[in-house]
Amino acid sequence: MANFFLTHRAMHDLLEIESWSTEVFGVLRTRKYMKDLYKSFNKIAGNPSIGHLRQRRSLPFLMAPTGQHFAIYQSVKGTIIIVTILHARRDIEAIIDRLAPVLAKEMTHLIHKWDQ
């Protein structure tokens, strides 16, 4: 079975999604949506090529739809690393462009840690 790993940034994104969704949609609907997000993460881990490399959107990361969001990730040594989760209505290009150095640094740190 393939694995996925959530970076600190992705965990923060999930907490924000859960908090906002609970406030707007209520606890039951939020629980279902959160479960669906995790199902999507498992689906991505089982088939990493499901995501798309978009030169102007997500380089060097892949993007895959997860409900109303996109999981932004890389496949490293048989593990999917989800670096951030962004709502489809947000300016994904600008966010990835702004966050790319931080996300790449966290990826490098994780890969180095795994190599030890």
- What pLDDT, in 10s, does the model give residues 66-108? 999 999 998 887 889 999 999 988 887 788 888 888 888 888 8
Greater confidence, 18 or 96? 18
Distant-in-sequence, close-in-space partners of 2: CB < 8 Å, separation ≥ 6: 42, 45, 46, 48, 78, 79, 80
φ, ψ dihedrals at 46, nearest 5°? -75, -20
| Band (23; pLDDT cuts 50, 70, 90) | very high
CATH architecture group of domain 3-115: 2-Layer Sandwich (3.30)
Return the pLDDT at 58: 56
28-64 pLDDT, tens per residue? Answer: 999 999 999 999 999 999 998 888 765 565 567 888 9
What is the rounded distance in angstroms from the CA atom of residue 63 to the CA atom of residue 74?
9
What's the 3-state SS for 58-82?
A: CCCCEEEEECCEEEEEEEECCEEEE
